[in-house]
Copies of this chain bind each other. A is one copy, B any other.
Amino acid sequence: MSSSVGTATKSERTRALIRDIALRSFRERGYDQTTIRLIASEAGVSVGTTNYHFASKNDLVQELYLDVQQQHRAAALPLLETSDDLVERLGVVFRTGLAQLEPYHRFAPEFLSAAVSPRSSINPLSSDSSESREIVVGLFREAIAGAADKLPAEFDEDLPSALMLGHLLLALFWVYDTSEGRERTSRLLDRGLRLLKLSLPLVRLRVLRKPLRELLDLIAEVQA
């Protein structure tokens, strides 16, 4: 998190300071309560300075996204070593992803509202979010690639993105989940994975290829 203090120019140090203070504040106070004026005040600079280094508040959220997804990757990779079962590997990516979000659950409605618009720069499907998004897509890609059971090659291209979309939908459910320890989200994920495991052999049936292909095509086009 703390961005290599010491070296770097004055400007880079100011930028890093603002970034670190903003990220800490997002964690502690959420999106709404993290105001530009508060960040500026804690960093000992003026409002204009924060907006000079980060053109908007949402640019700071992108820094947060990157941080969260890098930790997602760091948490998932070692666990992916432990199994070569496709469904289990997907479960690892989903579960470690949710685990990263958990500290933010209190503030999830605020972030959701700011991010859900297709026009928002912090929409996970926006071009501005591509760097952090690709980390997650990459994880799903690796989960598939390292699995013992191979899927038809025609699915390889779109499937990771579709799974990332599934992860976003799961996160949407998670935002609305008021159960203790997000127990209902866990149950939904477990049941979904069990269903997937049961129906996976069917993918190889010729009759199912076409409807699946069509469904995947529809999903693949979803973007902000």
Contact = CB atoms under 8 A, between A and B. Distances in A.
Contacts of A119: 109
Given A191-B211, A211-B191, A214-B191, A173 B222 contact: yes
A202 interface: no
Interface in A97-118: 109-110, 112-114, 116-118
Contacts of A176: 118, 125, 222-224
Interface residues of A, number: 28
A188 interface: yes
A223 B173 CA distance: 10
A197 interface: no
Contacts of A153: none
Contacts of A37: none
Chain copies in complex: 2
Contact of A114 (B113, B120, B184, B221): B113
A116 B112 CA distance: 7
A150 interface: no
Nearest to A222: B176
Contact of A113 (B120, B187, B188): B120
Nearest to A177: B222
Nearest to A198: B211
A179 B222 CA distance: 10
Nearest to A175: B118
A187 to B, nearest CB: 7
A80 to B, nearest CB: 27
Given A109-B117, A195-B211, 19 more contacts: A109-B119, A109-B120, A110-B117, A112-B116, A112-B117, A113-B113, A113-B117, A116-B116, A118-B175, A125-B176, A173-B222, A176-B224, A179-B221, A184-B218, A184-B221, A187-B218, A191-B211, A191-B214, A191-B215
7 contacts: A109-B120, A113-B120, A176-B222, A176-B224, A179-B221, A184-B218, A191-B218
